[in-house]
């Protein structure tokens, strides 16, 4: 399955566990994560925590992109879409602990978190355009809102990599810790929120997210439509093939 879910002391940990592929996300991993976010509605879950292994995630599995494009899969049927829609609707606080690489959705899912801590050597990238794709997860709206339109445009158009210090300075991260302390700090942040009054927590998250919920839903719909088209394009197909045959 490659997504490990465990709930302890009110914190549901969703861990991506496919280190041999740098936690590149498969359909099965998204499906398991989507189911977990659904189950997080239970009262016993007071906070969610996303973790990877040595790497957070190298983004969507590129072989899966190629297969989904070839199958002409309807975008709404893809588990990644179900996962993202569940995450947007999640009423519990969400923390992410990021180390190693966080590429594509490995970075864009952070825009839906309520606290993000990264190891000092974490590195980020949004290589949608270089892959013949377009942004997803509402990042065409949320990234400009979070880090400013100019910087967001550059990162989304160029796909250029950036480090933890830059991500922190731009407001994408809450904090940076030494790599070896990442998991402990991420767990502490999740535990801190899990211990607070759940109704006030839910109401506050609803207020924060409610402000632009309609605009976000519209942005995501537009992105999914454009993404579905791009995924099947010749530009994307040849970029996927280039990656898969690079050795």
Contacts to ligand COA by CB under 6 A: 21-22, 24, 58-63, 101, 103-104, 127-128, 131, 133
Q: Is 197 exposed, middle or buried (0-12, 13-18, 19+ CB in 10 A)?
A: exposed
Residue pair 115/171 in contact by the 8 Å Cβ criterion? no
Name every residue whose Cβ is closer than 8 Å to that of residue 232 and which is 6 or more positions away in sequence. 69, 72
CB of 43 to ligand COA, least distance (A): 35
- List the one residue out of 11, 15, 151 whose CA is nearest residue 2: 15
Query: Cα(10)–Cα(13) distance, rounded to whole angstroms?
Result: 10
Nearer to ligand COA, 64 or 114 (CB): 64
CB of 106 to ligand COA, least distance (A): 8
Nearer to ligand COA, 101 or 216 (CB): 101
Block residue for tokens 């927590």:
201
CB of 56 to ligand COA, least distance (A): 10
Nearer to ligand COA, 2 or 60 (CB): 60
CB of 215 to ligand COA, least distance (A): 23
What Å distances lie between residue 22 and 52, 69, 82, 208, CA to CA?
A: 9, 22, 22, 33
Nearer to ligand COA, 59 or 97 (CB): 59
Nearer to ligand COA, 47 or 57 (CB): 57
CB of 181 to ligand COA, least distance (A): 22
In this structure, the strands spanning 115-119 and 175-177 are parallel
CB of 188 to ligand COA, least distance (A): 28
The pair of structure tokens assigned to 25 is 């996300």
Nearer to ligand COA, 12 or 125 (CB): 125
């Amino acid at each position: 399955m490659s997504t490990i879910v465990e709930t302890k002391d009110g914190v549901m940990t969703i861990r991506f566990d496919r280190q041999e592929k740098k936690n590149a996300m498969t359909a099965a991993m998204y499906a398991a994560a989507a189911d977990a976010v659904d189950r997080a509605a239970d009262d016993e879950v007071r906070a969610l925590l996303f973790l990877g292994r040595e790497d957070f995630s190298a983004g969507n599995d590129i072989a899966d992109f190629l297969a989904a494009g070839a199958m002409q899969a309807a975008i709404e049927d893809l588990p990644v879409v179900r996962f993202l829609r569940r995450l947007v609707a999640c009423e519990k606080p969400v923390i992410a602990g990021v180390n190693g690489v966080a590429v594509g959705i490995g970075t864009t899912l952070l825009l839906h978190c309520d606290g993000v801590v990264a190891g000092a050597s974490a590195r980020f990238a949004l290589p949608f355009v270089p892959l013949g794709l377009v942004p997803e997860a509402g990042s065409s709206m949320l990234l400009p809102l979070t880090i400013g339109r100019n910087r967001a445009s550059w990162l989304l158009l160029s796909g250029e990599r950036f480090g933890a210090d830059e991500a922190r300075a731009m407001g994408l991260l809450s904090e940076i810790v030494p790599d070896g302390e990442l998991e402990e700090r991420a767990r502490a942040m999740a535990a801190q929120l899990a211990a607070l009054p759940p109704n006030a927590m839910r109401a506050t998250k609803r207020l924060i997210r409610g402000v632009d919920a309609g605009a976000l839903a519209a942005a995501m719909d537009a992105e999914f439509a454009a993404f579905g088209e791009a995924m099947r394009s010749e530009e994307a197909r040849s970029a996927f093939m280039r990656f898969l045959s690079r050795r």
